Amino acid sequence: NSFTLIGFSKGCVVLNQLLHELKEAKKDKDIDAFIQNIKAMYWLDGGHSGGSNTWVTYPHVLKEFSQTGISVNAHVTPYQVFDTMRTWIGKEHKRFVQLLEEFGANINSQLHFADEAPSLENHFKVHEVF
């Protein structure tokens, strides 16, 4: 009964919120059973214009998450992580990956289309390459 959760672009905020709710959610046996069945989570080129919190960077939240054993996958493109108008996205992505690695999570982070100029077209192509 295991399943994978996938978020794309602004939709990654749903995955982020799940991480923030994790500690409390585990107290409910039904929700905990749901969490136990998540085998992997994919962040596909997360980004929004909110000014911060595109990626979860709170150590206590990521430590809790890393203890679930859920496989973490972060696939990004230059469109988001190299955006000069939204520099926080790249910084937060780097911190997200770094903290999860420090906490021993099973994390796979990939930059796609690194040799190409940032483009909305490649942002949407991340669906095809992950």
Give yes or no for residue 128 having a pLDDT over 90. yes
State the Cα–Cα distance between residues 44 and 57, nearest whole angstrom: 17
Q: Give Cβ neighbours of residue 36 (< 8 Å, ≥ 6 apart).
A: none
Whole-model pTM: value is 0.94
What pLDDT, in 10s, does the model give residues 22-75? 999 999 999 999 999 999 999 999 998 788 889 999 999 999 999 999 999 999
Read off the pLDDT of each residue in 80-85 and give the average, rounded to a whole number: 94
Residue for token digits 């192509």?
125
Whether 71 and 108 have beta carbons less than 8 Å apart is answered as: yes
For residue range 3-12, list pLDDT tens digits in order. 999 999 999 9
pLDDT of residue 36: 95
Give the pLDDT confidence of 85-119 residue by residue, as tens digits.
999 999 999 999 999 999 999 999 999 999 999 99
DSSP state letters, 72-116:
EEEEE-HHHHT-TT-HHHHHHHHHHHHHHHHTT--EEEEE-STTS
What does the pLDDT read at residue 102?
98
At residue 49, the pLDDT reads: 79
